[in-house]
Structure 1
Amino acid sequence: MKQTKPNILLIYTGGTIGMVKDFKTGALKAFDFKTLLEKIPELQLLDCNIETVSNKPIDSSNMNPAYWVQIAELIESNYNSFDGFVILHGSDTMSYTASALSFMLENLAKPVIFTGSQLPIGHLRTDAKENLITSIQVASLQKNGMPIIQEVCLYFEYKLYRGNRTTKINAEHFQAFASPNYTELAESGVHLKINDEYLFRPQKNETFKVHKNLNNNIGLIKMFPGITKQIVESVFNAPNLKGVILETYGAGNCTTQTWFINLLEENIKKGIHVINITQCTGGSVIMGHYETSNMLKKIGVISGKDLTTEAAISKLMYLVGQNISKEMFKSTYEMALRGEMT
């Protein structure tokens, strides 16, 4: 019996990839994704069926948790009708959205691939076509009738990454993203090479579930020499604050001045979650490794290990939204839920 072609849903949320140049005026205008196969005939060579939907496109600089919920709901409502999803997104906040969706989509057993471009799809030297074509190809990969990729990923410039491991590193180069603490899942060259041993696998026979309750009453403090008490207090004094991400030095170190440690301890006792991640591009927080981070460990600061800032923020929003008890929160946050930490 001939196997049917995989059905792929292409979701356009906005971004440079959705723009084409009007050659008469020179102005950029929105690309009509309903005519996708006409404009990019190479897509007809792919062994899959492609449908498109536009989700009220916005500039990715305006991305927010409410819009993440809209994307998640589109996947939820179409989950049983499609074998894979490709989400076209502006590159500036793509790692944030990919990280958030990884937590929101529990027991995901199908590919959700984020991609975009540095240049518009109609530009002479665009990277959009390759990113789009290969993302759809990756989303349609199957073995024994099952999707090979079963997680939220990000594809850009010949590499497929786990979405919640990525960060944008360059505003000008085509190689705009990196996954500093985790190997790429696939690499596109003459052949498409999948690194099977690094793929995330959901729990078997568990029901797909979409979490829509995100709490964005959180703060981010990047440590720097000379940071003042007033600045740190201004973050902790924010109304309805639930948690704070601390971007510390190296392996999780920061100032040990009494005012700083006391301020953290007071707020932790109030029930505000404080997460320690490194501001280094790569590497991990190892609390207690140096004396300067040992005090943080003693007062109950949570280790973010090797989380990216994007994953740390979206994971905090997700877990605060789950109303987990204070006693369970620390152990849950320090646990890898979707392959986001080592």
Structure 2
Amino acid sequence: MNEPTKILLIYTGGTIGMIKDPVTNSLKAFNFDQLLSNIPELKLLSHEIHTLSFEDPKDSSDFNCEDYINLATIIETNYEIYDGFVVLHGSDTMSYTASAISFMLENLTKPVIFTGSQLPIGDLRTDAKENLITSIQIAGLKNETKSLIQEVGLYFEYKLYRANRTTKINAEHFEAFASLNFPAMIESGVNLNINYSCLIHSKARKLKVHKQLDNNIIIIKVFPGLNEATFSHLINTPNIKGIILETFGSGNTKTEDWFLDTIRKAIRKGIHIVNITQCSGGSVEMGKYATSKHLLEAGIIDGKDMTTEAAVGKMMFLLPKKLDKNVFKTIFETSLRGEMK
């Protein structure tokens, strides 16, 4: 008889971990040691579920690099013990955390599924139970003896996405996330409909966890009224090593001399600048229009169809490696975890 699949449920904080106090009617943190008794549906699953909580669960808005490292370390420590991991996380910055974790976990051959909810787990109309139960089921899926999902995923409202392809698009709907440049890997209905062509199949290698991150990064969103003084001030922020430049359409920006000169000076100083589109979907195509050709010539990094969240995570991951700028550019423009086409 096959042993049950072992799943580790990691609670980091967020709405999903809240229940309503019957006395005060206010929300309070959920005791995940009592998970099975509070969510009896989990007893119907054939998995062996263990729980672990951050010592100090926090709102995802307060997440930082130390929390990413803490989470990655928990997964590393328990990697040989469990068949899959489900991370409960606040939805506001879930895509940022999940994207960073995808780069930090190299040679991943087991599922790490992020999920959360828009309503607390104790709310009558909550989306938390379905998100949690299906995430556990997905984390336990096997293809013969191997895990079916061998990457970091994000499950929300009936869809499993590649985590580093996601963005939170709605603060009120249960369908809070979208992946506009990459299809869902699994859609949950009466059955779990698996898009096998989208799945990553990792070679059997030892997990390597990268625990050095550098958050000396700034995101600059280009807008029509952006002036020289403001742009120069932002791009010359002390200690900045990487800039995510959110541009128009397929990677277009201003062509005024002051704008281009500021960018060229920053690149000469060793600052890595990545061009990504501020559009919800689509890709940067530098050189397609005259308004982006100058960026290509300046040596700016082509972010292709990456999300802002993935670009930030990848930048944090690569900066500590102290790569030559040309090597850095080549690696950034190469898909490492399925984050770009």
TM over 0.5: yes
Provide the rounded CA distance (Å) in 1 between the counterparts of 2:19 and 2:105. 32
Give the letter for the 1:65 counterpart. C
On the 8 A contact 2:236/2:266 being kept in 1, the answer is: no
Aligned mates of 2:96, 2:128 — CA distance in 1: 20
Q: Report the counterpart of residue 274 of structure 2 in structure 1.
A: 275
In structure 2, how many angstroms separate the alpha carbons of the residues matched to 1:278 and 1:167? 13
For residues 16-43 of structure 1, what are the alpha-carbon distances to aligned partners after superposition, in whole Å with 9 as ceiling and x for unaligned?
0000011232111111100111111111
2:246 is paired with a residue whose SS is: strand
Structure 1 residue 327, shift from structure 2 partner: 2.2
Which residue does the alignment assign to 2:16? 17
Question: CA offsets per residue over residues 310-334 of structure 1, 9 Å max, x none?
Answer: 0011111111122222120111000
- C-alpha distance in 2, partners of 1:90/1:258? 43
Question: What are the Cα deviations for residues 209-257 of structure 1, in whole angstroms up to 9, with x where unaligned?
Answer: 0001111001111000010111111222222211111100000000000
Shift of 1:137: 0.5
CA positional deviation for 1:67 = 0.4
Match of 2:58 in 1: 58
CA distance in 1 between counterparts of 2:27 and 2:318 reads 40
Aligned length: 340
**How do 1:109-258 residues align onto structure 2 when only pairs under 5 Å count?**
109-202=109-202, 204-258=203-257
Report the CA distance between 1:201 and its aligned residue.
Answer: 2.0
Counterpart Cα distance in 2 of 1:154 and 1:322: 27
Give the CA RMSD over aligned residues: 0.8
Normalised by the length of structure 1, the TM-score is 0.98
Q: Following the alignment from structure 2 to structure 1, what is the Cα–Cα distance between the partners of residues 234 and 76?
A: 35
Structure 1, unaligned runs of 5 or more: none
| In 1, Cα distance between equivalents of 2:306 and 2:257 | 27
Native 8 Å contact 2:114 2:154 kept in 1: yes
Indicate the residue corresponding to 1:77 in structure 2. 77
Give me the whole-angstrom Cα distance separating, in 1, the residues matched to 2:37 and 2:15: 20
Which structure 2 residues correspond to residues 25-44 of structure 1 after superposition, within 5 A? 25-44=24-43
Residues 113, 135 of structure 2: 8 Å contact kept: yes
Amino acid at match of 1:314: G
Identity of aligned residues (%): 59
DSSP 3-state at the match of 2:130: helix
The aligned counterpart of 2:103 is: 103
Worse-matched range after superposition: 23-32 or 173-182: 23-32
How far apart are 1:205 and its partner, in Å? 3.1
What is the alpha-carbon distance in structure 2 between the residues aligned to residue 275 and residue 122 of structure 1? 42
- The separation in 1 between residues aligned to 2:324 and 2:76, in whole angstroms, is 28
Unaligned runs of 5+ in 2: none
Give 1:17's aligned amino acid: I
Distance in 2, matches of 1:45 and 1:192, equals: 17
* CA distance in 1: counterparts of 2:246 and 2:101, whole angstroms: 23
Q: Distance in 2 between matches of 1:47 and 1:145?
A: 16
Tell me the secondary structure at the aligned position of residue 53 of structure 1: strand
2:142, 2:205 → 1: CA distance? 20
Q: Which amino acid aligns with 1:7?
A: K
Note the C-alpha offset of 1:194.
1.2
Q: Is the 8 A contact 2:109 2:204 kept in 1?
A: no
The amino acid of 1:213's aligned partner reads Q
Which residue pairs with 1:262 in the alignment? Answer: 261
Q: Distance in 1 between matches of 2:76 and 2:321?
A: 19
Cα distance in structure 1, aligned partners of 2:267 and 2:236? 13
2:308 counterpart residue number: 309
Alpha-carbon distance between aligned partners in 2 of 1:322 and 1:52, rounded to the nearest angstrom: 34
